[in-house]
Amino acid sequence: MANRTDPRARTVHGTNPQNLVEKILRAKIYQNIYWKEQCFGLTAETLVDKAMDLDHFGGTFGGNRKPTPFMCLILKMLQIQPEKEIVVEFIKNSDYKYVRLLGAFYLRLVGKPMDVYQYLEPLYNDYRKVRRKLDSGSYVLSHVDEFMRSFSHSTPVATLRCLAYLEGGRWKQQGSWS
């Protein structure tokens, strides 16, 4: 089951959850040493330990676009589809900011609009500094709230483009919470 989606997994936005990551990026992740050594055989429970070891976030870097451990764990989460309660605990975890970012990014990819608003809107008030790995391989300081704002503008976050997202107030006005 190294590169296959859990057979019990539900489709997300009408497709296999792993297809939310572009095919080329998926192939690079599957060939990545971190994926082979650290992500093989992870379950929802053991994924927490790997998430706590993260010290930066980002998509791909370097000349041949190597995926970061953050991207590898996102793909693993798409593959095993942890329970919503586990993802919510990731997001509520204020001790480990990268665990929080991982949960937020995953929920943003697969969550329903109401869940996205309910669980991610409070993160706009998290101003802690985080390290972001740039395409060049260097690091830059960012903030959790900047990471969250990039979701709502449909800009690529960690080399993945999220579906369009309306700010919470606009969801309430339209009454479309499904």
Query: Can you name the residues that pair with 133 across neighbouring β-strands?
Result: 58, 139
Give residue 154's pLDDT band: very low, low, confident or very high (50, 70, 90): low
Q: What is the pLDDT of residues 67-107, one digit of tens each?
A: 999 999 999 999 999 999 999 999 999 999 999 999 999 99
Output the average pLDDT for the chain.
84
**First and final C-alpha spacing in the chain:** 32
Backbone φ and ψ of 131, nearest 5°: -95, 130
How far is residue 129's CA from residue 55's CA, in Å, rounded to a whole number? Answer: 11
For residue 66, what pLDDT is reported? 93
For residue 62, what pLDDT is reported? 87
Local structure of 76: helix, strand or coil: helix
Is the confidence at residue 178, as pLDDT, over 50? no
pTM for this predicted structure:
0.84
Q: What is the pLDDT of residues 105-139, one digit of tens each?
A: 999 989 888 888 899 899 999 999 999 999 899 99
Q: Look at the alpha carbons of 18, 24, 28, 31 in this order and tell me if their dihedral is positive or negative.
A: positive
3-class SS shares of the chain: helix, strand, coil, % to 5: 50, 10, 35
Give residue 170's pLDDT band: very low, low, confident or very high (50, 70, 90): very low
Closest by CA position to 42, among listed 66, 75, 11: 75
Give residue 166's pLDDT band: very low, low, confident or very high (50, 70, 90): very low
